[in-house]
Chains A and B, each alone.
Chain A
Amino acid sequence: MEKGTLEEKKSKRRVSLTGDDAIAEAMRQINPHVVAAYPITPSTQVVESFARFVADGLVDTEFVATESEHSAMSACVGAAAGGGRVMTVTGSQGLAYMFEVLGVTSGLRLPMVMAIANRALNSPLNIHGDHSDTMAMRDMGWIHLYSENGQEAYDNTIQAFRIAENPNVRTPVLVAIDGFQTSHMVETLTVEPDNLVKRFIGEYIASYPMLDIDNPVLYGAADRPDYYMEHKRSQLVGMINAPEVIQQVGQEYGALTGRYYGLVEEYRMEDAEHAIVVMSATAGSVKDVIDQLREEGVTAGLLKVRAFRPFPAEEVAKSLSRTKSVAVLDRCGTGGAQGGPLFLEVRAALYEEKSPPQVINYIYGLGGRDLPLRHIKDVYLRLREIARTGERGKLVDFLNLRE
């Protein structure tokens, strides 16, 4: 696998950036052909920073500041069908407003990348972070990558293009960060040299570019019932091929930068009896709690899900099969289901296990509700109790909720 040159290693930069600016920096280096976007808190900074890059001539991008998110995603569809690199940024109501077009993008097998600063959905109006926006579109045929911090946001944005554009995948990818916790948090991270990023993403050769006018193609035909199912089945191939590509890209990226990525990340799971499964920023808090608890003799571990779609069921089952009790933390309500979306996936993944751990679900952090470390600690203590007594107790509960 290719490694970064010595010169490149020297020109890495350690910089302090917000999560939004980390994504914008990646976008500058990627230099997409077209960025079509509409501002929405808490991802607005990405668009603003990128607009400055455009104004300063630091990118060759056609920046289309649309009149809505619906048009932003529609313009992305047109642009991607044209045959070039395309990106947008949104979250929350904006993502909901795009909903209709999200399925068009994946159905037409158009590679593109969408950065999301996760935010609660109305009503009540709330601009703060939770995952109800991306969870609402979890089955729209997009690949979902969740980022713990600014560094991961930066790294995921770069890798997302390689994943989306892989000829065996050709599926749009969203890169999510937690609204405010990550989008507005200033963290120190490593920015790779421009030429390394350029080399890593390579040149994109679109499969059926509409702008190749000598070879006219038709995008978006109507299907009657005699073809629709076959087309939807063939669309799924991209999703089926994605896990291998996500891992391979994560390895290649690691060889170049020293930061490796997979479908999931395990933290102190090798001998863990009690595990928390979570996505995005909260994983960082959980790691801190684990370190404390380990000193107190609690065998705590973390399974962080990076790729939520396609869901890495095998990896999850393998990682959790050795544990005795598991708590899945969902930053999204249940909507009347048997639990949060992540919980349902994790529980289903464990169904084939001979002696699966007890699994409980906590809903946390809705609308930006803070999750102090003591609550996470309490979860582990409960997990230990469940393992000791065999009594599972309440299946789905809330964390840090006034009742």
Chain B
Amino acid sequence: MVSFKLKDIATREEPFAQGHKMCPGCGVAITVRQIMASFEEPVVIANATGCLEICSGTFPFSSWRVPWIHSAFPNAASTIAGLESMYRAKVRRGEIPKERKIKFLAFGGDGGTYDIGFQALSGAMERGHNIVYVCLDNEGYMNTGGQRSSATPSGARTTTSEVGKVLQGKQQFRKDLTRIMAAHNIPYAAQAAPSKWLDLMKKAYRAFEVNGPAFINVLCHCPTGWHTDPTRGLEFVQRAVDSCFWPLYEVESGVVRITYKPRKKIPVVEWLKDQGRFKHLLRPENEELLESIQVEVDRIWNQLLKDAGEEM
């Protein structure tokens, strides 16, 4: 197993090189670094259109020291599936020695994963390709100025779920994609956050270890889209985790395991406050809305506890 000691991680050559153009304080960049440091074998990457793709692969520059492909917005899953199929075909014909193990990794944002790439992802998972798909979920179309996606939380202000005289941000609750992926009965599905970096790395390691498709959903802070202090991104993500808005768990062979249980569950308002996109929720007239968000978060968390066989 690859060493997760800080010293070893810090001294290893990183496949994801510096010089990329991600915003200061971006959670995606941190998450990608941690994931790339969780395994050693060669890897091939497919990247959906989005922040990471644009910022790491604009000609004539590249931040990747590994083979990398970008095709379009909705098809990272099917592109990596094609690569993995070619690998298997070449191994079968002896054109690649079977000892030559290669990992197949796809990155997509929540727009490219929850929304436009959802079908391709579902198809690739059902077909059982030996791939790892990582969703870098920053809760909206942040690369294009912050529009709502089905991962945008209820009440959040985006440029397509505005706050005005009649509407108070996004009207709907977010899609629970991690559970949907787990419902594909794939070998491994997990939810993670960069604030719990070791938990994230262990999940990435496990995702590559299982035979068959694996999915990891990572909540990545986005100072630009969330309208938050870029120096405090990890703190915000951790509040999402501690409020159980974003529980950290994994589902392996149908068994649900919560990998981090907050010692003291904080109210959801603690996660929402200090973020520009939720500012309006703190107004007195939106108290009911805020309450409904708390109720929904609790409901999903309690269901998760039940599924994991834990005490409420």
Contact = CB atoms under 8 A, between A and B. Distances in A.
A186 B184 CA distance: 42
A61 B71 CA distance: 23
Contacts of A81: 69, 82-83
B3 interface: no
Contact of A33 (B62, B68, B75, B93): B93
A80 B81 CA distance: 12
A211 B82 CA distance: 12
Contacts of B60: 221, 227
B127 A64 contact: yes
A34 B122 CA distance: 20
Contacts of B32: none
A78 B81 contact: yes
A67 B60 CA distance: 35
Nearest to A63: B85
A78 B42 contact: no
B183 interface: no
Interface stretch (B51-59, B148-156, B201-209, B211-219): B51-59
Q: Which of B82, B85, B93 has the most CB of A within 10 A?
A: B82
B72 interface: yes
A217 B54 CA distance: 16
Contacts of B88: 62
A210 B85 contact: no
Contact of A217 (B67, B83, B96, B127): B67
B57 A67 contact: no
Nearest to A33: B89
A101 B75 contact: yes
B80 interface: yes
A245 B46 CA distance: 32
Interface string B111-130: 00000000110111011000
Interface residues of B, number: 47
A71 interface: yes
A70 B54 contact: no
Contacts of B67: 210-213, 216-218
A218 B64 contact: yes
Contacts of B62: 218, 221
Q: Which of B77, B90, B127 has the most CB of A within 10 A?
A: B90
A86 B83 CA distance: 11
B172 to A, nearest CB: 25
B68 A78 contact: no
A78 B89 contact: no
Greatest chain A CB density within 10 A among B67, B74, B122 is at B67
B119 A83 contact: no
B31 interface: no
A222 B54 CA distance: 6
Contacts of B93: 33, 60
Interface in A59-96: 60-62, 64-68, 70-72, 74-84, 86
Contacts of A60: 89, 92-93
Nearest to A223: B59
Contact of A74 (B42, B59, B66, B71): B71
Contacts of B236: none
A64 B85 CA distance: 8
A99 B21 CA distance: 30
A108 B46 CA distance: 14
A221 B58 contact: yes
Contact of B82 (A74, A217, A222, A227): A74
B71 A222 contact: no
Given A62-B85, A217-B67, A219-B70, A75 B57 contact: no
A135 to B, nearest CB: 23
20 contacts: A33-B93, A34-B82, A60-B92, A62-B92, A66-B81, A68-B123, A70-B74, A70-B120, A71-B77, A74-B71, A75-B85, A78-B78, A78-B79, A100-B72, A219-B71, A220-B69, A222-B58, A222-B70, A223-B59, A224-B58
The 5 closest A-B pairs by CB, nearest first: A78-B82, A67-B123, A82-B86, A75-B82, A74-B75
